[in-house]
Every structure is written in structure tokens, then in C-alpha cells.
């Protein structure tokens, strides 16, 4: 469910449902940020793995 859909539901909901939906929106945004940070970590890990393989090859070639 997208943030826009949750906000539309919140407009027509009561106080308790509104608080639940607000929490869902916050959780959704936090999950999105976490996925973005994890994606950057994955890219950094792949970069280091490739660099290690290249340096190992260079070391074996010239070593």
C-alpha cells in the first residue's frame, strides 16, 4: 500500500484507526530509508569484492 493510499484512508478513519495508519506511514518511510541504506552497503561490498579479485590477479601476475 502506498503512502498516498494510506493518507486517503486516514482522512476517512476515526481516531484509533488514524493513529494506526499514521504508524504504518512512519514504518513505511523508515523501511524505505533502511532499504536505501542497505542498497548502498551492497554496492560497497560488491566494489570491494571486485577490487580484491583484481588486486589478487595483479599480485599473482607480477608476484
User: pLDDT tens for residues 7-30?
Assistant: 666 666 565 667 788 888 889 999
Whether the pLDDT of residue 54 is over 90: the answer is yes
Q: Residue 50: is its pLDDT beyond 70? A: yes
Host domain of residue 46: 3-62
Query: How many domains does the chain fold into?
Result: 1
Tell me the pLDDT of the chain averaged across its residues: 84
* d(C-alpha 10, C-alpha 8), whole Å: 5
Q: Is 55 helix (H, G, I), strand (E, B) or coil?
A: helix
pTM of the model: 0.50
pLDDT computed for residue 31 by the predictor: 92
Comparing 4 with 31, the larger pLDDT belongs to 31
DSSP assigned state of 13? S
Burial 29-56 (b: 16+ CB within 10 A, else e): eeeeeeeeeeeeeeeeeeeeeeeeeeee
Amino acid at each position: 500500500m502506498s503512502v498516498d493510499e494510506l493518507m486517503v484512508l486516514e482522512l476517512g478513519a476515526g481516531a484509533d484507526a488514524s493513529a494506526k495508519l499514521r504508524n504504518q506511514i512512519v514504518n513505511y518511510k523508515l523501511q524505505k530509508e533502511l532499504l536505501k541504506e542497505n542498497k548502498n552497503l551492497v554496492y560497497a561490498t560488491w566494489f570491494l569484492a571486485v577490487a580484491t579479485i583484481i588486486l589478487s590477479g595483479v599480485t599473482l601476475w607480477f608476484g
